[in-house]
Amino acid sequence: MLKQTVVSSLPVRVRDQVDAWIEAAEVVAEMKDPRVLRSLGPASVRGLILHRGKQGTPTKMPASHSAHFDWTYPSDQPAMKDLYRRAKAGQWDGEKDLPWSISVDPENPEVPLLPADFIDDSLLHKHGIHLDEKERRRLDYSMVTWTLSQFLHGEQGALFAAAQVTEAVQFFDGKLYGATQVMDEGRHVEVFSRYLQDKMGRLYQINDNLFVIIDALMTDSRWDMKFLGMQIMVEGLALGAFSTLYTQTKEPLLRELLKRVIMDEARHVHYGVVALKQHIKTELSAREREEREDWAFEVALLMRNRFMAYEVFDEWFSGRISREAWREIVLGAPGMSRFRHTMFKRLVPNLRDIGLLTPRIIPAYERAGLTEYFGGKAAPELTGEQMVAELDRAAA
């Protein structure tokens, strides 16, 4: 309250900057475990304060993991071998297998990119924003383009992380499987990038919070932290976001693209669960496991509370409403709440399955209001096909 009183007394430009700094400080203050702070703190400074992802130049992230060679080529991970087979059979061609000839008009009311209630108009009105129909469609167009841009940036992170974990993991069957994931992520970069360029005609910069997560896991030398960060957390976030957009958009090319990507991502999360389950339960000390429990919880909160589409705010509303008002609009958007629901439905059961939802951390999840997701299906119990069928049923 005091914070907002102080912030609102400042001139507009200064006010937005100070609000951003306070928010960055809050992200770091939320990290109660000093080991989590050590892992996410430097990445937070680079992302939230220095805005390294928005400099308009390539970003260099030093990697410090060890490549694990095994000259005996063992095959002792049947679940990973099976995923490798399925991944080979499930390859598709981003050029030939999608109906790129469909012409997309992002502002066509007959084929809306988002449902009319994705953003709640009454919340816009509450803060004095009154948009005519055309402007409202353009705002939805901005929101979709922003979301797809973040998918694309996330996919670039996934491509490099998949390459890193393929080197670092000790399971040989996991390395062969990992090669297919590198190909999958390359294809995802290809199709999202093409869709944004050819059909949406623009690209937003990477969101600072997404940058923080990618930076933290790319620079962490421990393979299991990379796995946890990318294969469980970011892939869980991606599945939640892809699934929500898949059920909500009416644009046929985007639906087809998302459906194919969801099938691939379901395999990626499955692999993450298989690889981590054994490792967390048998290889880690109690202290090491606790660090991962805390890390996963902090990142889950970061994903839930911090993707505020400020890049859209800057474009549309900077100087007209405060960042605080924008947060209220985004947090109250029915479309965003469906996204958070789907994300946690996918994510929490996987954390349970790999052994990171222990009695020690459960109260923190309860306080965060996530109890309803404890009993859901984890990735190994759900194939990509079943996931898409479930989404189609829910949308029908």
Question: How distant, in Å, are the alpha carbons of 39, 109, 321 from that of 231?
Answer: 17, 37, 37
Among 79, 158, 213, 241, the residue binding Fe ion under the rule CB under 5 A is 158
> Which of 355, 363, 359, 307 lies closest to 331, judged by CA?
307
The least CB distance from residue 187 to Fe ion, in Å, is 8
DSSP classification of residue 170: S
The distance from CA 380 to its chain's CA centroid, rounded to whole angstroms, is: 20
Question: Which of these ranges, 86-94, 127-135, 263-271, 317-325, lies near Fe ion under the rule CB under 5 A?
Answer: 263-271
- Measured between its terminal Cα atoms, the distance across the chain in Å is 43
Among 52, 65, 268, 292, binds Fe ion (CB under 5 A): 268
Within its chain, how far is the Cα of 23 from the centroid?
A: 20
Q: Is 153 in the site for Fe ion (CB under 5 A)?
A: no
Closest-CA residue to 253 (of 265, 261, 244): 261
Span interacting with Fe ion, options 136-144, 164-172, 257-265, 324-332, rule CB under 5 A: 257-265
**Part in contact with Fe ion (CB under 5 A); list of ranges 42-50, 188-196, 312-320, 381-389:** 188-196
187 interacts with Fe ion by CB under 5 A: no
Beta bridge partners of 321: 318
Under the binding rule (CB under 5 A), the answer on residue 270 touching Fe ion is: no
Q: Which is nearer to Fe ion, 265 or 311 (CB)?
A: 265
Query: Under rule CB under 5 A, how many of the chain's residues touch Fe ion?
Result: 6
Among 153, 187, 188, 340, binds Fe ion (CB under 5 A): 188
Region from 81-89, 178-186, 315-323, 341-349 binding Fe ion, contact rule CB under 5 A: 178-186
Closer residue to Fe ion in complex, CB, 296/361: 296
Please provide the DSSP assignment of 44-107 as one string: HIIIIIS-GGGSSSPPP----PPP---TT-----HHHHHHHHHHHHT---TTTSS-TTS---TT
Segment contacting Fe ion by CB under 5 A, of 14-22, 184-192, 271-279, 362-370:
184-192
301 to 133, 314, 316, 323, 343: CA distances (angstroms): 34, 24, 26, 19, 12
Binding site for Fe ion (CB under 5 A): 155, 158, 185, 188, 265, 268
